[in-house]
């Protein structure tokens, strides 16, 4: 079905209510959504090993707000009605702005004109007073763990500094489980179940696409900080995420927008006003580029066999296929990860990780050219800036030419790309030693990252 037909047939999305209760030691959370007239959803979240709950309604309501986007996108209804909780006019504007910026890739991929008057209206029907922000008093640090190298660097750096940390993982993959076993004690595990009705709609041709997952992770982290009494939430989002991918209808589209410093600033301000005065949400790696983080990661060989950040590895095509759970070695994420690690790891270690030397794969030339800004635009993936991709290939080229015959991609880089960028030697030194002052690191944690 087309965007226009879906909007006409399903004009209103409703966040009806939420509910939660303890079942044994697990906190069960349910959200009830409806796309009028006749589509309902009830996704579920389970947080394991919860000893007490306290007052959680405001945090759970907000988690439901970000959860709702995964279901609203199926029809992109003109109106969102919020019955489950209270939003004032400032909050409604905040959420509308989040949708406009965080769903940019979704709009682009579905060729949706989000600029039209009346594109989206959000109404809050619940009557009540503005919730009072809650307070957390401990100095403990909550560290979200995925399957990639970035959260490993955050984890190991804070452990080395002797900080009081605890990890959590959402629907942990095999890679995340191995990382938790290797580096964490007593992690918090959260299970998120998508309503199967949504997958059915996807298979029938309803709208699908990218949602701001890191924004979801942010509101989940805030809820966990409230339940388990953490003051700090230390994300592992780097400065590279600030760069967008492509312009669409006059707007910069950034696949990583909800990882960006812009989103971090907005969320921190919103949290202080409407959720908690004392919980500090920030990215520990914000001062660094991806390639700097790769250099730091190279110091932790115990994680080489277990980390996995290829998104193709876990895709199911709306339930049509089983994930193969290994580096695909064909996508932009794999090639970028290989290129930033190559200057700092032994080639034999990289081949063990990826299964082969990706620089020998001629079919990856178009992806390399996208990464370095030679063709189309930067891929819609969690990859670094165009400049640091150029530097990654340059440093890889410099390393490879000293030891052996150049692999195909690096020969192509030398012949077709390198001559256009005579400044890469100087820029590589600059980036590898750079520090982004736009960050929200607490002072006592800043010195720990500086010690590396």
Token digits for 30?
Answer: 């349910």
Q: pLDDT value at position 276? A: 93
Average of pLDDT values for 328-357?
A: 96
Range from 123-127, 240-244, 403-407 carrying the lowest mean pLDDT = 123-127
The answer to whether 235 touches 283, Cβ cutoff 8 Å, is yes
Q: pLDDT value at position 316? A: 66
Q: pLDDT value at position 440? A: 96
List, as one string, the DSSP characters of 409-441.
Answer: HHHHIIIIIGGG-TTHHHHHHHHHT---S----
Instruction: For residue 400, name the pLDDT band (cuts at 50, 70, 90).
Output: very high
User: What's CA 259's distance to the chain center, in Å?
Assistant: 6
Q: pLDDT value at position 136? A: 61
Does the structure show a pLDDT above 80 at 404?
no
CA distance 217 to 145: 11
The answer to whether the peptide bond before residue 151 is cis (omega within 30 degrees of 0) is: no
Average of pLDDT values for 190-204?
A: 96
The answer to whether 48 touches 10, Cβ cutoff 8 Å, is no
Q: pLDDT value at position 218? A: 98
How many Å from the N-terminal Cα to the C-terminal Cα in the chain? 53
| Exposed/middle/buried for residue 359 (C-beta within 10 Å: 0-12, 13-18, 19+) | buried
Q: pLDDT value at position 197? A: 97
- Residue 166, classed as helix, strand or coil, is strand
Average of pLDDT values for 188-200?
A: 97
Residues 6+ apart with CB under 8 A from 422: none
> What pTM value is reported for the model?
0.95
Q: pLDDT value at position 178? A: 93
Does the structure show a pLDDT above 80 at 314?
no
- Residue 353, classed as helix, strand or coil, is helix
CA distance 321 to 442: 44
Best CA proximity match to 57, nearest among 147, 112, 134, 119: 134
At which residue do the structure tokens 């030679």 appear? 374
Does the structure show a pLDDT above 60 at 128?
no
The answer to whether 134 touches 276, Cβ cutoff 8 Å, is yes
Q: pLDDT value at position 58? A: 95
The answer to whether 267 touches 278, Cβ cutoff 8 Å, is no
Average of pLDDT values for 83-99?
A: 96
Q: pLDDT digits over 26-82, tens only?
A: 999 999 999 999 999 999 999 999 988 888 999 999 999 999 999 999 999 999 999
Does the structure show a pLDDT above 80 at 148?
yes
Q: pLDDT digits over 246-269, tens only?
A: 999 999 999 999 999 999 999 999
Over the chain, what is the mean pLDDT? Answer: 93
As beta bridge partners, residue 41 has 33
Does the structure show a pLDDT above 60 at 129?
no
Q: pLDDT value at position 132? A: 65
Q: pLDDT value at position 318? A: 59
Instruction: For residue 410, name the pLDDT band (cuts at 50, 70, 90).
Output: very high
pLDDT above 90 covers a percentage of the chain that reads 87
Instruction: For residue 191, name the pLDDT band (cuts at 50, 70, 90).
Output: very high
Q: pLDDT value at position 131? A: 63
Instruction: For residue 139, name the pLDDT band (cuts at 50, 70, 90).
Output: confident
Q: pLDDT value at position 321? A: 65
Bridge-based pairing state of the strands 26-36 and 12-23: antiparallel
Q: pLDDT value at position 137? A: 62
Average of pLDDT values for 279-306?
A: 96
Average of pLDDT values for 153-172?
A: 95
Q: pLDDT value at position 320? A: 65
């Amino acid at each position: 079905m087309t965007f226009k037909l879906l909007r006409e047939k399903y004009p209103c999305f409703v966040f009806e209510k939420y509910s939660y209760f303890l079942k044994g030691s697990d906190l069960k959370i349910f959200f009830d959504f409806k796309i009028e007239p006749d589509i309902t959803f009830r996704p579920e979240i389970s947080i394991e090993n919860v000893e007490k709950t306290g007052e959680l309604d405001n945090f759970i309501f907000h988690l439901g707000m970000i959860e709702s986007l995964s279901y609203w996108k199926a029809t992109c209804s003109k109106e969102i009605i919020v019955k489950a909780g209270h939003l004032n006019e400032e909050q409604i504007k905040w959420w509308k702005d989040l949708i406009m910026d965080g769903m940019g890739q979704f709009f682009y991929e579905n060729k949706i004109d989000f600029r039209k008057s009346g594109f989206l209206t959000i109404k809050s029907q619940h009557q009540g007073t503005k919730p009072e922000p809650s307070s957390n008093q401990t100095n403990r640090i909550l560290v979200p763990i995925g399957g990639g190298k970035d959260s490993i660097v955050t984890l190991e750096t804070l452990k080395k500094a002797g900080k009081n940390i605890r990890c959590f993982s959402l629907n942990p993959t095999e890679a995340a489980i191995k990382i938790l076993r290797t580096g964490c004690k007593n992690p918090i595990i959260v299970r998120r179940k998508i309503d199967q009705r949504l997958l059915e709609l996807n298979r029938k041709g309803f709208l699908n696409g990218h949602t701001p997952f890191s924004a979801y992770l942010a509101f989940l982290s805030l809820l966990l900080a409230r339940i388990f009494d953490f003051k700090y939430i230390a994300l592992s989002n780097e400065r590279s995420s600030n760069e967008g991918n492509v312009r669409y209808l006059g707007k910069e589209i950034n696949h990583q927008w909800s990882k960006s410093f812009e989103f971090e600033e907005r969320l921190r301000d919103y949290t202080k006003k409407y959720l908690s005065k004392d919980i500090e949400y920030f990215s520990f790696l914000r001062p660094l580029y991806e390639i700097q983080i790769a250099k730091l990661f190279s110091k932790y060989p115990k994680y080489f066999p277990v980390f996995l950040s290829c998104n193709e590895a876990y895709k199911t095509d709306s339930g049509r296929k089983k994930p193969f759970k290994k580096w695909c070695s064909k996508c932009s994420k794999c090639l970028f990860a290989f290129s930033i690690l190559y200057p700092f790891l032994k080639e034999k270690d990289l081949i063990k990780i990826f299964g082969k030397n990706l620089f020998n794969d001629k079919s990856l030339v178009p992806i390399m050219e996208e990464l370095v800004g030679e063709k189309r635009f930067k891929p819609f993936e969690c990859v670094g800036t165009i400049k640091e991709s150029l530097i990654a290939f340059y440093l890889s080229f410099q390393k490879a030419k000293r030891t052996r015959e150049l692999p195909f991609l690096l020969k192509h880089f030398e012949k077709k790309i390198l001559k256009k960028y005579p400044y890469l030697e100087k820029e590589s030194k600059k980036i590898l030693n750079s520090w982004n002052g736009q960050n929200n690191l607490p002072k006592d944690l800043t010195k720990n990252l500086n010690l590396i």
